[in-house]
């Protein structure tokens, strides 16, 4: 579509009105002033059109002509070529008008403003000048777990999420509770990919400050009785050790065969993240390879990993798959193997704190976590509204007592294996095969590890749903099959989590550089309806600033991968949007 020049745009405009066209200067940032070549080259490589409206195209012409005069003509052409309707003659005429215009008041900062809006930030910087901060882009909210899931989860878990005041809060309460509980079932297991696995999960809830992730703190109350019991056991063992040491000190000179009593283990559920390598491993070993790291400030763990004495990230990654952790205790000159460690982790923090914990997308730690990115809602919350009689602490303390009874029952019972039916196994494999195919076409190869580990995560969630059904039917047989509703609900949850992980993945630095990955291809696929024509997908491409040829290439790849189907010439269906 040809951009139409409106003569009224060139009429003299009062100075105050003209300022409306400029970005608002709230927080200036710095950019390269004389390195336009790097910016334009990066824009050409991206294929992004920043001249999609006449107003932008006109203002960019003003900006370039004001700064570079006739020398900027080629830059203006190169910037304009990403527009699908680019015409060389029309572009020349527009630039002539920009050169002739007087009093428009638009500086080169406007060009950099539009470039920064679409993530164009070349690496080389020579001379810096202040430009106005880009306006906040409109962000599409990430999906939340459907209400239909919550209508059918085990009754006890419905009580856990009952006090929630939003969909996001409901989601983090469920995911946080499942992760905390996953550390408390030493006799719950299943067989996945021919290996015995337990229910342990890693969760990271991320959102800007004051977005509501603090509600996650209530989850500690649910498993605190388990922690208290283990601390009491530790206290008793220490008292026994003191008696044994007193006896040893009285008789060590009288008997050459008397051995000094060993120090008792430190029993606990909550493993402090701010610890040394040996300290963490020792505590996990003392607790028979089990524990729960629960930190509401994600950088606590990140700072530990950065220090020489506290970098236990290798063992952290191994624990997710129950791989043996080996370490050396210098004090006792003892080499220790922790076989089949079962560690669970609940973390929360800001997006920047994730980058501190996971330095790059290539880091294997990323794919081991369930990520949940909370949507921001700029509304004031009624801080006096309450759905509980005496506050949330007492409410979750009571639920913690109820859970403790289940914990004691299962601890004193035989191990329980959770299995999927043959039909569920087939559906499971089809679901994840499609999910893998989809993200092979949307993300770099590094993201596939996340999709594959979400398969293991989903199996563990199914195990946890199954064990909470015991509170309803009392069945503690050694083999328990996952109920169909729990199976289906888990896949619904994974369909949400994979999109949250993709969002967090896109925001991670690439090769240690603070660059965000703009994934237009994923947004394009998500925007395709169930039935659409060529013109429909070209319209969607325009909205996402994707050149038509690029969009056509995407469609060809999606058809080849089976993500969409070509029903007839220029007519397609998107199975993912089927009702």
The CATH number covering residue 188 comes to 3.40.50.300
Would residue 83 count as lying in a domain? yes
Q: What is the pLDDT of residue 451?
A: 93
Stretch among 235-239, 390-394, 399-403, 524-528 having the lowest mean pLDDT: 390-394
Checking if the pLDDT of 260 tops 90, the result is: no
Q: What is the pLDDT of residue 387?
A: 65
More confident residue, 118 or 385: 118
- Mean pLDDT computed over 391-400: 92
Strand, coil or helix: 302: helix
pLDDT in tens, 128-139: 333 333 333 345
pLDDT in tens, 215-248: 888 999 999 999 999 999 999 999 999 998 888 8
Please tell me the distance from the alpha carbon of residue 71 to that of residue 48, in angstroms, as a whole number: 23
- Do 407 and 293 have their domain in common? yes
Where among 74, 105, 131 does a domain terminate? 131
Checking if the pLDDT of 30 tops 50, the result is: no
- Mean pLDDT computed over 383-409: 85
- Mean pLDDT computed over 5-15: 39
Q: Which of 129-138, 296-305, 360-369 has the highest mean pLDDT?
A: 360-369
Checking if the pLDDT of 17 tops 60, the result is: no
Burial, 70: exposed, middle or buried (Cβ in 10 Å; 0-12, 13-18, 19+)?
A: exposed
Q: What is the pLDDT of residue 6?
A: 45
State the chain's mean pLDDT as an integer.
Answer: 83
Q: What is the pLDDT of residue 579?
A: 61
Where among 507, 535, 554 does a domain terminate? 507
- Do 195 and 304 have their domain in common? yes
Would residue 363 count as lying in a domain? yes
Q: Which of 146-160, 371-385, 503-517 has the highest mean pLDDT?
A: 146-160
- Do 564 and 537 have their domain in common? yes
The DSSP element (H or E) to which 193 belongs, if any, is none
- Do 455 and 565 have their domain in common? no
| Contact call for residues 420 and 466 (beta carbons, < 8 A) | no
Would residue 180 count as lying in a domain? yes
Please tell me the distance from the alpha carbon of residue 341 to that of residue 324, in angstroms, as a whole number: 7
Q: What is the pLDDT of residue 128?
A: 33
Share of the chain above pLDDT 70, in %: 83
Q: Find the CATH number of the domain harbouring 525.
A: 1.10.10.10
Q: What angle do CA 309, 311, 313 make, to 5 degrees?
A: 160
Checking if the pLDDT of 28 tops 50, the result is: no
pLDDT in tens, 188-203: 999 999 999 999 999 9
Q: What is the pLDDT of residue 160?
A: 96
Q: What is the pLDDT of residue 336?
A: 85
φ/ψ of residue 21, rounded to 5: -70, -15
- Do 123 and 233 have their domain in common? no
- Do 180 and 311 have their domain in common? yes
- Do 464 and 542 have their domain in common? no
Strand, coil or helix: 249: helix
Nearest to 532 by CA among 506, 558, 565: 565
- Do 177 and 274 have their domain in common? yes
Would residue 514 count as lying in a domain? no
Checking if the pLDDT of 467 tops 70, the result is: yes
**Helices within 81-166 (DSSP H only):** 88-100, 109-117, 147-150, 155-161
- Do 398 and 486 have their domain in common? yes
Would residue 138 count as lying in a domain? no
For residue 244, the cross-strand partners are: none
pLDDT in tens, 406-446: 999 999 999 999 999 999 999 999 999 999 999 888 888 88
pTM: 0.68
Checking if the pLDDT of 210 tops 70, the result is: no
Checking if the pLDDT of 3 tops 60, the result is: no
pLDDT tier at 24, thresholds 50, 70, 90: very low
pLDDT tier at 511, thresholds 50, 70, 90: low
Q: What is the pLDDT of residue 578?
A: 75
- Do 491 and 525 have their domain in common? no
- Mean pLDDT computed over 43-64: 86
- Do 333 and 479 have their domain in common? yes
For residue 198, the cross-strand partners are: 189
Share of the chain above pLDDT 90, in %: 45
Checking if the pLDDT of 167 tops 70, the result is: yes
Q: What is the pLDDT of residue 519?
A: 74
Would residue 564 count as lying in a domain? yes
CA separation (Å) from 377 to 139, 169, 173, 205, 334?
12, 12, 18, 16, 53
- Mean pLDDT computed over 44-50: 83
- Do 285 and 307 have their domain in common? yes
Q: What is the pLDDT of residue 185?
A: 95
Checking if the pLDDT of 512 tops 70, the result is: no
| Contact call for residues 460 and 200 (beta carbons, < 8 A) | yes
**Structural domain range at position 45:** 7-131
Would residue 489 count as lying in a domain? yes
CA separation (Å) from 65 to 15, 21, 24, 72, 126?
19, 17, 22, 6, 21
Count the domains in the chain: 3
Q: What is the pLDDT of residue 135?
A: 33
pLDDT tier at 513, thresholds 50, 70, 90: very low
Checking if the pLDDT of 300 tops 90, the result is: no
Instruction: Compute how many other C-beta atoms are within 10 angstroms of the C-beta atom of residue 378.
Output: 4
Where among 507, 542, 557 does a domain terminate? 507
Would residue 566 count as lying in a domain? yes
pLDDT in tens, 143-158: 999 999 999 999 999 9
Q: What is the pLDDT of residue 33?
A: 40
| Contact call for residues 342 and 290 (beta carbons, < 8 A) | yes
pLDDT in tens, 67-115: 888 888 999 999 998 887 788 888 889 888 888 876 467 888 888 888 8
- Mean pLDDT computed over 519-548: 90
């Amino acid at each position: 579509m040809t951009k139409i020049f409106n003569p009224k745009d060139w009429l003299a405009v009062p100075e105050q009105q003209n300022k409306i066209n400029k970005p608002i200067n709230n927080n200036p940032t710095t950019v390269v002033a004389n390195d336009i070549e790097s910016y334009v080259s990066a824009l050409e490589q991206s294929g992004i059109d920043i001249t999609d409206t006449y107003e932008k195209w006109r203002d960019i012409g003003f900006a370039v002509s004001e700064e570079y005069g006739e020398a900027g003509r080629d830059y203006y052409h190169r910037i304009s070529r990403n527009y699908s309707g680019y015409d060389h003659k029309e572009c020349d005429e527009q630039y002539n008008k920009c050169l002739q215009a007087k009093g428009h008041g638009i500086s080169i900062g406007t060009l950099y403003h539009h470039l920064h809006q679409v993530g164009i930030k070349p690496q080389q910087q020579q001379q810096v000048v202040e430009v106005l901060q880009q306006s906040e882009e409109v962000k599409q909210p990430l999906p939340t777990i459907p209400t239909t899931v919550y209508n059918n989860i085990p009754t006890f878990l419905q009580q856990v999420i009952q006090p929630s005041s939003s969909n996001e809060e409901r989601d983090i309460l469920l995911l946080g509770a499942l992760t905390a509980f996953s550390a408390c079932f030493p006799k719950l297991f299943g067989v996945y990919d021919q290996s015995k696995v337990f229910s342990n999960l890693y969760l990271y809830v991320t959102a800007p400050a004051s977005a509501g992730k603090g509600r996650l703190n209530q989850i500690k109350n649910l498993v605190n009785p388990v922690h208290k019991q283990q601390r009491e056991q530790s206290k008793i063992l220490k008292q026994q050790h003191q008696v044994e040491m007193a006896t040893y000190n009285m008789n060590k000179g009288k008997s050459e065969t008397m051995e000094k009593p060993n120090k008792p283990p430190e029993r606990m559920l909550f493993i402090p993240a701010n610890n040394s390598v040996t300290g963490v491993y020792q505590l996990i070993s003392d607790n028979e390879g089990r524990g729960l790291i629960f930190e509401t400030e994600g950088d606590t763990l990140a700072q530990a990993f950065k220090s020489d004495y506290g970098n236990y990230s290798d063992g952290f990654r191994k624990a997710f798959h129950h791989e043996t952790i080996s370490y050396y205790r210098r004090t006792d000159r003892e080499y220790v193997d922790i076989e089949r460690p079962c560690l669970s982790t609940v973390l929360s923090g800001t997006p920047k704190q994730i980058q501190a914990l996971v330095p790059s997308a290539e880091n294997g730690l990323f794919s081991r976590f369930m990520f949940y990115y909370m949507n921001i809602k700029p509304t004031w919350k009624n801080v006096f509204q309450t759905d509980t009689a005496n506050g949330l602490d007492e409410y979750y303390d009571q639920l913690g007592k109820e859970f403790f009874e289940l914990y004691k029952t299962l601890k004193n019972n035989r191990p329980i294996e959770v299995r999927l039916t043959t039909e569920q196994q087939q559906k499971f494999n089809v679901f994840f095969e499609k999910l893998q195919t989809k993200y092979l076409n949307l993300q770099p190869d590094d993201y596939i590890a996340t999709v594959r580990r979400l398969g293991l995560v989903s199996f563990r969630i199914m195990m946890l749903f199954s064990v909470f059904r015991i509170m309803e039917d009392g069945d503690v047989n050694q083999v328990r099959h996952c109920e169909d509703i729990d199976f289906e609900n888990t896949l619904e949850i994974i369909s949400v989590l994979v999109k949250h992980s993709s969002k967090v993945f896109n925001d991670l630095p690439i090769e240690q550089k603070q660059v965000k990955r703009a994934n237009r291809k994923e947004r394009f696929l998500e925007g395709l309806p169930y039935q659409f024509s060529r013109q429909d997908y070209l319209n969607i491409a325009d909205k996402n600033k994707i050149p038509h040829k690029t969009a056509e290439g995407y469609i060809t790849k999606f058809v080849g991968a089976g993500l969409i189907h070509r029903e007839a010439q220029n007519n397609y269906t998107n199975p993912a949007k089927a009702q």
